[in-house]
Amino acid sequence: MIFTSNTMNLNIKDAVAYLTFKKLEEFPYIRHAFSTRMGGVSSGEFTSMNMSFNRGDNHENVTENYKRLCSAVGVGFDSLVASAQDHHTNVRRVSSAQKGIGIYKPRDMESVDALITNETGVTLVTYFADCTPILLVDTKNKAIAAAHSGWRGTVAEIGRITVERMAEEFGTSPSDILAMIGPTIGKCCYEVDKTVAEQFVALDVFDSRKFVTDKDNGKYMIDLAEANRQILVKAGVNNDSIVKSDVCTYCNSDLVWSHRATGGKRGGMCALLEIV
């Protein structure tokens, strides 16, 4: 496997492979990671680092995968708080009181596609396998957010909604936010029909021509990362403070999970984000 990226590093520790943003590594009070398919104990179609509890994998295997990933990245397994994603735009503020929820404690809420916190030692966990991860860091007030933006979440502008919620909860100014748009299915590989494409064209952002390409056969190619970038800029985040990953999940499906590349027979990867 050959991995190349201008924006991300591939890290391997104790046989666990995970991705990090080069830019975010410059901030010593932030710890983050994106899991890959490598370094876990799951088997079969979940081989080997599956982070999803709800796809039919053995629960004990997924738990062990989290313990291995946490050890490699340097976060505490007991610090994890997971989302409960269903492609909506609900944002939940979490604290140390919610540690373990969705991982080693049962979910206490449904429909949570973004998590925010300003507490140290609380690790936000969100899930992906082609959808777009968004990590936000308020560099002034030291608050963070992790959002899951599939195509439905993107056209509903979950990025903007998360920025607004950070402003409400933490006094965050969008101009102080550093935004990372993580590995997602790229414009090279994400084909949709006209019904979906029309919802992207209808987005009230700068230029949908940059993220919707008509193939002239009733199909369209969508650039999820670019759509989310424009949504964040609309929300007030400085364009120079936004980094888009250049890792396409479909093109790199030997390294990361891709729903489309596997035909849905897959595990899932997660993003971790913590204030140290």
Taking only the tens place, the pLDDT of each residue in 235-265 is 999 999 999 999 999 999 999 999 999 999 9
pLDDT tens digits along 130-151: 999 999 999 999 999 999 999 9
Q: Indicate the helix (H) or strand (E) that contains 66.
A: helix 59-73
Q: State how far the Cα of 128 lies from the Cα of 109, in Å rounded to an integer.
A: 19
Cα 263 to its chain centre, rounded Å, is 20
Q: Is residue 3 part of a domain?
A: no
Residue 151 to residues 38, 57, 127, 192, Cα–Cα distance (Å): 26, 26, 14, 10
CA distance 245 to 12: 19
Domain contains 108: yes
In a domain, 149, yes or no: yes
The one-letter code for the residue type at 109 is: M
Per-residue pLDDT tens digits for 31-76: 999 999 999 999 999 999 999 999 999 999 999 999 999 999 999 9
Question: Would you say residue 125 lies in a domain?
Answer: yes
Dist CA 179 CA 163 (whole Å): 10
Q: Which two tokens stand for residue 35?
A: 């899991």
184 part of a folded domain: yes
Q: What is the pLDDT of residue 204?
A: 79
CATH of the domain at 118: 3.60.140.10
Report the number of distinct structural domains present in the chain: 1
Residue 153 within any structural domain of the chain? yes
Report how far residue 93's alpha carbon sits from residue 90's, in angstroms, rounded to the nearest whole number.
10
Instruction: Classify residue 1: in a domain, yes or no.
Output: no
What's the rounded Cα separation, in Å, for the pair 73 and 60?
20
- Residue 2 falls inside a structural domain: no
Q: The tokens 């599956």 sit on which residue? A: 50
H or E stretch at 169: helix 158-170
- Domain span including residue 79: 8-275
Omega of the bond prior to 48 within 30 degrees of 0, cis? yes
- pTM score > 0.85 for this model? yes
Please name which of 51, 55, 48 lies closest in space to residue 123, comparing C-alpha atoms.
51
